[in-house]
Amino acid sequence: MAGKDIITMTQGELRRLHVIRKAIDKHITQTEAADIIGVCLRQAQRIVRAVRVEGDKGIIHRSRGKLSNRAIPDKTRNKALMLFKTKYPDFGPTLASEKLFERDRMEVNNETLRLWLIDADIPYRKRKKRPHRQWRERKERYGQMVQMDGSEHDWLEGRDPKCVLMGYIDDATGTPFGRFHAYEGTIPAMDSFKRYIKKRGIPLSIYLDKHATYKSTKKQTIEEELANQKALSQFERALKELGVKVIHANSPQAKGRIERIFNTFQDRLIKEMRLADICTIDQANAFLEKYLPVYAKRFAIKPAKKDNLHRPVPKSMDLNRILCIKTKRALRNDFTVAHNKRLYQILDNIRAKRVVVEDKINGSMVIRHKDTALKFKQITVRSKKEEPKRAYEFKPKEIYIPPKDHPWRKFKMKSYPQNYTYSQKEKSSKKEKELLLIH
């Protein structure tokens, strides 16, 4: 008895065999068979010949079970896995494949690398599933709205203290901008925004959270209430002078683009700086200027409309006067001004009750009356004369003895009736007791 061969086929191959059998049995033409299985006529004729000669096995592709001509050698595979374990252990397959090509000259597809890692049972970083949020349509034009925020993180992985990345992303294109600072505050926000303006121009609006730097927590003064004005933070005041509309987000999810890019940078950027041996904030900022254009070239998109709504800085506008901390101070009768626990002598002769102190981004200071910069110098505060402390003298308290004619001494028990007696009686409830006065 002749043995039977077992042929394994996919559903597609079974469907193709059924159509080819119909063509062999002359139920349909070979042209119709080619249209049904989606091949050209000559290919359909080759399949028909193969099935007639080899039987049902002729429908199976000749390369099944054989090594592909484009298969990557085991030597390359082993080298890639070794580099992943030694140099990129906390990388994802996509970023690891990019670094293998850039730094090690090994071209490996990210999906191929992922399958290799699974086959070798090597754990790798996986993206967590995100909860579904309500989708908001992007702005149509470049510069129409910019999302801004600060992200405090161990960006240098312990090689330097923790710092803050002041990040910006255009809502229409996803083009990022950023600058590292030691902390998140008014001066870092102004410094980073000034650099953004010099690079791209003044945006139409800015979308940020309710951090104390971006939204004032102070109550309105009487003057502000009478003028129907809300209290502004220093950064809000500067944006108002620049003509930038401020939009405050009620939740982090509302400004999701800047939050997502921070998550990406906390993965990709950290590893890029590790590979580049970045150890200080200054080095990180220099690296960021080269990294962000490369990132934008790959991930930024084209806006729906080509108009650029960034405004150029007018020649008459002085950014240093706007992007600074302005504080109103009282001018004393001796022409001195107290500011930040220091005393300054005004050298110009002016008639004013108040002046404005401007603390610049670079650390300098200017005192103005209206639009005029005043000359001044710092003076030492005269120390108060310290009076010698007197030693405490303990005096014993005198005991007061009332005199003989004092009313207390005139008090006599005989002036009150002495025939009162008191008896106690229990009530039937046994919960209360009352005093009965018996005369």
Tens of pLDDT, residue by residue over 41-61, are 999 999 999 899 888 888 888
CATH numeric code, 146-217+230-299: 3.30.420.10
Low-confidence ranges of the chain (pLDDT < 70): 1-4, 127-135, 224, 226-227, 382-385, 413-439
Q: Look at residue 406 in the predicted model and tell me its pLDDT.
A: 84
Beta-carbon count within 10 A of 258 CB: 23
pLDDT in tens, 354-377: 999 999 999 999 999 988 999 999
Q: Look at residue 241 in the predicted model and tell me its pLDDT.
A: 92
Q: Look at residue 1 in the predicted model and tell me its pLDDT.
A: 44
Dihedral angle at the C-alpha atoms of 326, 169, 181, 157, nearest 10 degrees? 160
Q: Where are the domains of the chain?
A: 11-59, 74-119, 146-217+230-299, 324-379, 407-438
Q: If you average pLDDT over every residue of the chain, what do you get?
A: 85
At residue 351, the 3 state secondary structure works out as: coil
Q: Look at residue 168 in the predicted model and tell me its pLDDT.
A: 96
Q: Look at residue 429 in the predicted model and tell me its pLDDT.
A: 47
What is the C-alpha to C-alpha distance for residues 196 and 260, in angstroms, rounded to an integer?
20
CA of residue 124 relative to chain centroid, distance: 25
Q: Look at residue 202 in the predicted model and tell me its pLDDT.
A: 94
What is the C-alpha to C-alpha distance for residues 101 and 106, in angstroms, rounded to an integer?
5
Q: Look at residue 426 in the predicted model and tell me its pLDDT.
A: 46
Q: Look at residue 269 in the predicted model and tell me its pLDDT.
A: 94
Beta-carbon count within 10 A of 321 CB: 16
Asked if residue 248 lies in contact with residue 209, where contact means CB atoms within 8 angstroms, the answer is yes
